[in-house]
Structure 1
Amino acid sequence: MEASSHDEFREFVEMRSTALLRLAVLLTGGDRYAAEDLLQIALMKAYGRWARIEQHEAYVRQVMYRQQVNRWRLRRHHAETTVPVLPDAAGDAAAGPDSDLRIALWAALGRLSNRQRAVVVLRYFEDLPESEVAALLGCPVGTVRSTAHRSLAKLRKLVPELGPERPTERIQSLGYTPKEVQR
C-alpha cells in the first residue's frame, strides 16, 4: 500500500471508528468484545483493498453485515463468555431522562433473535430500504417486512416506554441517528 493510501486509511479509521463500533455493537447484540472483533475484521479486509474501493465506509459496513450474518450461520448456539470484571452496562448511555430507556432498548435488542436484531438494526438504525436489507440477509423482501413487524411488536412488549409512534422517530429521539453523520 502506498504511503498516501495508508495515511488516508489511518484518517478514515480515526474519524469513523466510533460510529462503526456503535453499529458493530448493535449487530452483535451488545457484546462489545465481539463488536470490536467484527470491526477489526472489516477494517483488515478493507485495508487490503483500500486503493480499489470507491466508497470506503459503505464497503466497511457491507463487510460487517456479511461477516455478522456468517457468524450467525456458523454458530447457532454460542457459549457464554466469562470476564474477570463486569463491564458497565450504562457506560455508553449519556446521563439524562432517556438513559434508562436507552439501557432498556439495548437489553431488549439483545433478547431478539439474530435475524430480528439484524432486521431492526439495518432498517431502523442504519435506515436501509427493505430491498437492501433483504439482499444483505439473503431473504425475500416479504420476510424482512414480516420480521420487522414482529420484531417491533416484541420490542414494544419488552419496552412499553417506546410507545406506539414510528420506531425511527422514537429511536432518533433517544440520540440514535440512522447512518451516523458522514464527516
Structure 2
Amino acid sequence: MTGQYTLGQTEQAVEERLSGLPIDRGAMAAIGNLYRAAGVVRNHFERTVLAAHSLTWTAWVVLWVVWVWDDIETRHAASEAGISKSTLTGVVTTLEGRGLVKRRAHPGDGRRVLLSLTPRARRLMDELFPLFNSHETQAVAALSSADLETFTTSLRKIIQHLETLDGTAPAEDPNT
C-alpha cells in the first residue's frame, strides 16, 4: 500500500488544486511521478527482499556501494548512496555492529576512513543480489524493451543535467 489515495485520485486532486496557476504540468507530473515511483519501489523492496535480512533501503544501498567499489572512502560512499555523511555514519555503525562492514584508516591520511565489506557481507550480497535483481525485473515488467531503454536514458539525462546545473558532477577520479 502506497498511501490513502490512488495515483489517479492524487493526480485529480493536484489538478483541481493547481487550476489556473501558470505552471508546467508536464514537468510537475514527471517529477511527481518519479518521486512517487521511487517511494513505491523502495517500500516494495524493503517489504519483499530486504526485510528477511533486516535491511533498510539505505543500508542496502550502502552495502551495494561498498560491494561495487571495494574499499571506498566514507565521503564517496555517502555521495554514491545519495545520503549525508552523518546518515552514513549511523548506517555504517549499524552494519558494522552486524558484522557486515569494516572501517579502517586511509593509509595515506589517517583522518580519512575507508569502508569495506566483511566476508559475511560478501556472501550476503552474492546471495541477495540475484533475488533483488529478480524484483527489479518484476518492477519494470510492464515496460517493453524499447520503453525500458528510453526510460533509463531519460533518467540518466535528468541526473546528468541536474548534476551539471548544481556543479555536483563527479570528478574523473573519485579517489583524489
How high is the TM-score relative to the length of structure 1?
0.29
User: Looking at CA atoms only, which structure, 1 or 2, has the larger radius of gyration?
Assistant: 2
Q: Which structure shows the bigger proportion of residues in strand conformation?
A: 2
- Bigger relative contact order (CA 8 A; separation at least 6): 1
- TM-score normalised by the chain length of structure 2: 0.30
